Every structure is written in C-alpha cells, then in structure tokens.
Amino acid sequence: MNLQIEIFIIEGSVYAGSLKDFFKKINIENCEVAILNADYVAGREHAEFAAKKAIKSWFKGKKVARTLPMEILLYASATRQINRALEMGIKENRNNRVVAVIVGSKSCVEKFKNSTGFREENVLEMTEEKIENLKRFFDIKDEEIEVTGEGKIPEIIRERIVIYDILK
C-alpha cells in the first residue's frame, strides 16, 4: 500500500490557556496535529524525520501511542515514556514557542492557524540556551560534542530517533 500523506511543519508561537480547550481546537477533521516545544526541536529536519518515522510505524501497526500526534511526539523525543515525551509538549496558561507538525492537506494548516491564533515566527534558531536544552533532554554527552562538533547535534538527535525506532 502506497499512502500519499502530506506533512507540514510550521514554526511560531501560540497561546494555550487550558490544554483541554486547546486540544479541542486542534481536533480538526481529517487532520492530525502534533505540537512540539520549539526549545527541544533541533531544526525542521528533526520534526519531519520524527513525523515520517511515526507515520510509517503507525501504518505498519507498530505504534506505541493511541493517537498519531502522540506517536509523533514519542518519536520526536526518542522515548517510549509518554511522561518524558510530554516534556517536549506545550505548557498550559502561557505563550508557547512551537513547531506544529500537521498531517493532512494544506487546508489543515489554515484551519489550525485560524482555530488557535497561531503566529508564524522563526523559533528554530540554534541558540546557546537551546543547545543546552537539547544536550540535557537527549542526554548528549560532552564527549559526543567533542567528536562531532555542536553543528552535528541535529544528526545526533536523528540517530537517537533511529535507535528508538529499532528498540521500541
């Protein structure tokens, strides 16, 4: 079976009051939306790679989560521990810097933006603070950085995703 699925990665900020209410807003028919905290996303490739792996696993019947957005979050965080993966999710009652992974059609992107008040902005830049967050969250050792250099952190994280996929 060859499924043609479109994945859209958009970056910006969104306010989430009640998480329950926020997730009701993004429950859009024929669309799946995973929201990632941009402070733990090492670039667009990280989000897209995780989404593709999660979708492939989902349709092969090798899923861990009950929903595709949660499966994407598990892959993006490279863990099967839902509580750990949720650290990479959005927080309640605050403005969140996010990467939205939208699976569906182009209209899903517009519906998501309209229903949430999403504001597009560049939130994927690699700052020193983000590098420290990524090293801590993904348990990247200083020795790994010494060998590869900080510029390879996105590749190290994608490697963690591959290892997660193999071991889950």
On whether the CB atoms of residues 16 and 94 are closer than 8 A, the answer is yes
Please check whether residue 1 lies inside any domain of the structure: no
Please check whether residue 44 lies inside any domain of the structure: yes
Query: How far is Cα 102 from Cα 124, in angstroms, rounded to an integer?
Result: 17
The phi-psi region of residue 112 (left if phi > 0; otherwise alpha if psi is between -120 and 50; otherwise beta) is alpha
pLDDT of 2 over the 50 cut: no
Q: Give the pLDDT mean for 158-166.
A: 96
On whether the CB atoms of residues 97 and 129 are closer than 8 A, the answer is no
Q: What is the pLDDT of residue 10?
A: 98
pLDDT band at 5 (very low <50, low <70, confident <90, very high): confident
Total domain count, the chain:
1
Please give the residue that has the higher pLDDT: either 77 or 167.
77
For 107, the domain range is 7-167
pLDDT tens-digit readout, 110-159: 999 999 999 999 999 999 999 999 999 999 999 999 999 999 999 999 99
pLDDT tens-digit readout, 48-78: 999 999 999 999 999 999 999 999 999 999 9
Name residue, tokens 């699976």: 103
Q: What is the pLDDT of residue 4?
A: 64
Maximum Cα interatomic distance, the chain, rounded to a whole number of Å: 47
In sequence order, which ranges of the chain are alpha helices (DSSP H)? Answer: 19-25, 44-59, 68-77, 82-86, 106-116, 128-137, 142-148, 153-167
Phi and psi torsions of 119, nearest 5°: -115, 120
Please check whether residue 2 lies inside any domain of the structure: no
pLDDT band at 168 (very low <50, low <70, confident <90, very high): confident
The percentage of residues in the chain with a pLDDT greater than 90, rounded to a whole number, is 96
Number of Cβ within 10 Å of residue 136's Cβ equals 10
Please check whether residue 55 lies inside any domain of the structure: yes
**Beta bridge mates, 103:** 7, 32
CATH code for the domain of 76: 3.30.2380.10
Mean pLDDT score of the chain, rounded to an integer? 94
Exposure of 46 in the CB half-sphere (CA atoms within 13 A):
29
Please check whether residue 24 lies inside any domain of the structure: yes
